[in-house]
Chain A
Amino acid sequence: SYELTQPPSVSVSPGQTASITCSGDKLGDKYAFWYQRKAGQSPVLVIYQDTKRPSGIPERFSGSNSGNTATLTISGTQAMDEADYYCQAWDSGTAYVFGTGTKVTVL
């Protein structure tokens, strides 16, 4: 079955850049999606089709996807960005797959 691996945690200082990786076999050949889940809230789509931001998502969120790794970058991280982040892709053998999740802490 297809798997997506993320680092369990990422720490960042306010105003700095946070990068969250998502690794999977030939992930670059698929579309990657990213979801933010704040404590006690439902997930929110922050990046779709590798690089696109839904309406209402701040420009500081950006994405890339190449080779075996997709990356979510948060530039100028704010305290409100503290959350769990999940990548997701679709695989023909496994269907919809979520990454293991990364907890972003803004110190």
Chain B
Amino acid sequence: QVQLVESGGGVVQPGRSLRLSCATSGFTFSTYTMHWVRQAPGKGLEWVAVISSDGSRKYYADSVRGRFTVSRDNSRDTLYLQMNSLRPEDTALYYCAKAGGGGVAADPFDYWGQGTLVTVSS
């Protein structure tokens, strides 16, 4: 079955960096678009970034553009999120999510990991 396992979260000071990983199994990773989605404490879901199956196309939410970088290693079936210049408002549970396929506008987030918690605090 499809499994997504995030790691790399923790407590970090404002302005520092952190890299999240999402190890996947149970599907052909290299053929699917992948996303990062976050949920701040007491808040709703917020889409963060998306990367195409071959890694050639990447898009970001305005709130993280220029600070976060999404990447993937299709040989390791793993998704990454490099987070630089972290701010307190980046504190959230970060999920990786698999796209269901069907084109951008018709594409659901069909499987989600359990999330990894990032806390930005001095």
Contacts and interface: CB of A to CB of B under 8 A. Distances in A.
Interface of A: 1, 30-31, 33, 35, 37, 42-45, 48-49, 54, 86, 88, 90, 95-101
A1 B46 CA distance: 14
Contacts of A30: 105
A95 B44 contact: no
B107 interface: yes
B117 to A, nearest CB: 13
Contacts of A54: 110
Contacts of B11: none
Contacts, number: 58
A90 B45 contact: no
Interface of B: 35, 37, 44-47, 50, 59, 61-62, 95, 97, 100, 102, 104-115
A19 B114 CA distance: 27
Contact of A98 (B45, B110, B112, B113): B45
A43 B45 contact: yes
A44 B50 CA distance: 18
Interface of A is mostly: strand
Given A98-B45, A101-B44, A42 B95 contact: yes
A25 to B, nearest CB: 15
B109 A43 contact: yes
A86 B95 CA distance: 15
B45 A35 contact: yes
A97 B46 CA distance: 7
Contacts of A99: 44
Contact of A96 (B47, B100, B106): B47
Contact of B50 (A35, A42, A95): A95
